[in-house]
Amino acid sequence: MTYRMSIPDFQKIMLPLLKFAGDNNEHSTQSSYDYISKYFSLTDFENKELLPSGTQTTIDNRVGWAKAYLSKAGLLEKTRRSFFKITNVGLKVLEENPTEINIHFLERFPEFIEFRKVKKEDVALDIKDSLTPRESLEKSFLTIKNNLSIELLKIVKELSPKFFENLVIDLLLKMGYGGSKKDAAEAIGSIGDEGIDGIIKEDKLGLEIIYIQAKKWSCTVSRPDIQKFVGALEGKRAKKGVFITTSNYSNEAKSYVKNIGTKVVLIDGEQLANYMIDYEIGVSKEITYDIKKIDTDYFTEE
């Protein structure tokens, strides 16, 4: 995932955010998100762009960190849960009419310097940094995952066809398909004709059947290959199919499946490797980091 630089980094958000609170009124966190979005004329697409983890939008994350840093410097203060307002120090800063507020600017305040001292050097932000600590962490995670995906796919391509079939079985079972291991093992590779490699249950009761084509190929899968598979599905009066390959698909093949009545899902090598990582097939956890936040409900007095 690439970060769209049309979305301002969290340091560029600091001054507009402080000006937003400059009316000396209490403001909600949500209203600050809305204001910054309008201030920078962000598109609907940009407002919805997510961090690599998919747990928060990029703009909300950056506004949150801008507010956090202004608060650490004593320019903003929390009034109650999800609400804040400007401080007297913050008002004095606005009277200076600064052209920019960034980490270097905030270092004039003792509270901010003290806050920075408790941070380890390897995670401390520099004035040139455009990513928040959360973004930096997720970007590093994404880099590690992408490198692992490349290495994993290379190994998969070297597997025997039989091992690859078993891998597909294990993955589909982890994803919630196939019923039991025995059912799935009997299904995959049991047909092998008419362009279909196997069938698998969509649910444990077997109310729906999915037909599968699993090919350990190095060449691009073309439209005729998919048409053959779809034709086989129609011959079985099947409604759903999954085509899995270690290579990739041509644009014509991708376009074709979008315009047919039968539901066909295409999984290429990159997606296959990512699914294997997500569902822990052929990989193991090396280390886990838990990101925690304050539980405000715990500190609420009756």
Is 109 part of a structural domain of the chain? Answer: yes
Is 80 part of a structural domain of the chain? Answer: yes
Alpha carbon distances (Å) from 154 to 69, 131, 209? 43, 32, 31
- The percent of residues in the chain predicted with pLDDT above 90, rounded, is 51
Q: Domain check: are 124 and 43 in the same one?
A: yes
Q: Which of 59, 67, 11 has the alpha carbon at shortest distance from 36?
A: 59
Distance CA 67, CA 254 (A): 44
Q: Domain check: are 69 and 164 in the same one?
A: no
Distance CA 279, CA 161 (A): 21
pLDDT digits 0-9 by tens, 100-146: 999 999 999 999 988 877 544 434 445 456 788 888 888 888 888 88
* Number of Cα atoms under 13 Å in the Cβ half of residue 292: 6
Residue that is last in its domain, among 116, 131, 146:
131
Is 190 part of a structural domain of the chain? Answer: yes
Q: Domain check: are 166 and 77 in the same one?
A: no
User: Residue 83: which CATH number?
Assistant: 1.10.10
Whether residue 20 has pLDDT greater than 90: yes
Residue that is last in its domain, among 131, 146, 177:
131
Query: When comparing pLDDT for 266 and 285, which is higher?
Result: 266
User: Which range is least confidently modeled, 25-34, 67-76, 138-147, 177-186?
Assistant: 177-186
Is 143 part of a structural domain of the chain? Answer: no
Average pLDDT over residues 19-25: 97
pLDDT digits 0-9 by tens, 34-71: 999 999 999 999 999 988 878 889 999 999 999 999 99
Whether residue 179 has pLDDT greater than 60: yes
Please report the pLDDT score of residue 291 as a whole number: 78
Is 232 part of a structural domain of the chain? Answer: yes
Average pLDDT over residues 177-197: 61
Quickly state the pLDDT bin for 3 (edges 50, 70, 90): very low
* β partners of residue 242: 212, 265
Q: Domain check: are 87 and 171 in the same one?
A: no
User: Residue 163: which CATH number?
Assistant: 3.40.1350.10
Q: Domain check: are 126 and 178 in the same one?
A: no
Q: Domain check: are 120 and 174 in the same one?
A: no
For 213, the 3-state DSSP assignment is strand
pTM: 0.64
Please report the pLDDT score of residue 52 as a whole number: 80
Q: Domain check: are 89 and 126 in the same one?
A: yes
Distance CA 68, CA 185 (A): 53
Distance CA 203, CA 225 (A): 27
Please report the pLDDT score of residue 183 as a whole number: 64
Is 286 part of a structural domain of the chain? Answer: no
Is 181 part of a structural domain of the chain? Answer: yes
Per-range mean pLDDT, top range of 28-32, 187-191, 293-297: 28-32
Number of domains in the chain: 2
Q: Domain containing 216: what range?
A: 159-278
Residue with tokens 């903003």: 76
Is 151 part of a structural domain of the chain? Answer: no
